[in-house]
Amino acid sequence: MSALPAGSRAPAIAQAVSYARDPLGFLAARQRRYGDIFSVNFPFFGRVVYVARPDLVKEVFTGPPAVFHAGEANATVLEPALGPNSVLTLDDEPHMRQRKLLLPPFHGERVERYGELIAETTRKEMESWPIGEPFALRPHTQRITLAVIMRAVFGVHDEARLDRFGRLIDDFAKRVGVITSFPMLRRNLGPGSPWPRFQRSRAALDEFIYEEIRLRRAAPGYEERDDVLSLLLSARDEEGEAMSDQELRDELVTVLGAGHETTATGLAWAIERLVRNPGVLVKLRDSLASGEEDYLAATVKETLRARPVIVDVARKLKAPATVGGYDLPAGQFVLPAIAALHYREDLFPEPERFRPERFLDGKADNYAWIPFGGGVRRCIGAAFAEYEMRLILREFMEGAELRPVDPEPERVRVRNITLAPAKGTMVVAAA
């Protein structure tokens, strides 16, 4: 078949508005209406194709990386922030080179060396929670994950420098949102307009990062340190080449950008779901009190199923390819619809229910549970993120008694490219 899969004929802008209002519901409803492969017309991107069945997702994730370009697809949104050398915006050989250099520090058990740092940072942040009055949890989870990533990735421990760094990142993150969401704003419309403001905040952040790279290179014995910047400075590719400063900058900003807002939002959702499901909350506390870890791990997985922080991942076809029996042309965007897949009744019975038990027996299927994407582009920080979420959740469970401000679930709101709880997870901590 050479026509594109079925989809709504509504104008692109109307589809974008429906998507922005409720991305979770939007994709699941399209899948129910048009089937497991469907198309959606968006402004700027044109008609894109979504797949929402494990065998189709597998076709996309295991398709030849030279044809299924993720870097090119990501770059349309992320390149102004991350740069041309980021593992997220590259494809083919250059992508694999960066990926191999970046993987070791985030691999499986290696992330456990950050355990004490994560627990300590969490306990310190919890001291600032108000008692007995409503507050939004998300800014707190974000402060924790940001502090962790600044220390774990950059190895910055000096409080004054951390403060300055944190402010630069905050400012940068604020400016990035509008630039990534509205590509048409990427030009100078006057000094106060979004693009020059974004460029100024990027220049300030870059200056700090290049200075950090210079200081670290000059520091005696950095080869012995275990933060990611030091590891990347010592890393060599297969030809024995080190990373250039520009490559280092792009990877560091990538890890910062990809690594703290996502995890903070995942944690905010975990608490948003837990306080509205007291049975699950009690079970989690009891399991932790008896020294049991499996229910905690399952709770994290169920959170990322029911509230995937990222709703879809994109590939742009470099050459024509067949997906689900459709012959798609070069240039076509194809996206596994994470949100639709996670709400399939046949894969996750009673998908609306928050039920960690579904992850207790057996591993999550590679092509059904995909909050971290897949194939050669699967999230490099997945082990780190799940580990960090488990540790922080445990500290929250052991150190505080939380209840929701409103019994109604919080709505989903698009925040940069992530899905966040609309009110930032409003809770009250008991005295």
* Interacting residues toward ligand HEM by CB under 6 A: 70, 87-88, 99, 106, 254-255, 258-259, 262-263, 266, 309-310, 313, 371-374, 377-381, 384-385
Residues with Cβ within 8 Å of residue 107, at least 6 apart in sequence: 383
Closer Cβ to ligand HEM, 301 or 358, answer by number: 301
Say how many CA atoms lie within 13 Å of 203 toward its Cβ: 6
Residues with Cβ within 8 Å of residue 186, at least 6 apart in sequence: 80, 179, 195
In whole angstroms, how close is the CB of 272 to ligand HEM at the nearest point?
14
Closer Cβ to ligand HEM, 194 or 299, answer by number: 299
Closer Cβ to ligand HEM, 143 or 377, answer by number: 377
Closer Cβ to ligand HEM, 55 or 406, answer by number: 55
Closer Cβ to ligand HEM, 42 or 195, answer by number: 42
- DSSP bridge pairs for 37: 51
Residues with Cβ within 8 Å of residue 419, at least 6 apart in sequence: 23, 24, 265, 307, 308, 309, 310, 311, 412, 413
Closer Cβ to ligand HEM, 14 or 376, answer by number: 376
Q: How far apart are CA 81 and CA 201, in angstroms?
A: 10
- DSSP bridge pairs for 428: 403
DSSP state of 312: B
Instruction: Please classify residue 102 by burial: count the beta carbons closer than 10 Å to its beta carbon, then call 0-12 exposed, 13-18 middle and 19+ buried.
Output: buried
Q: Locate tokens 């985030």: which residue?
A: 106
Instruction: Return the structure tokens found at 215.
Output: 């200081």
Q: How far apart are CA 413 and CA 300, in angstroms?
A: 20
Closer Cβ to ligand HEM, 99 or 200, answer by number: 99
E strand map for 70-189: 135-136
Q: How far apart are CA 320 and CA 215, in angstroms?
A: 47
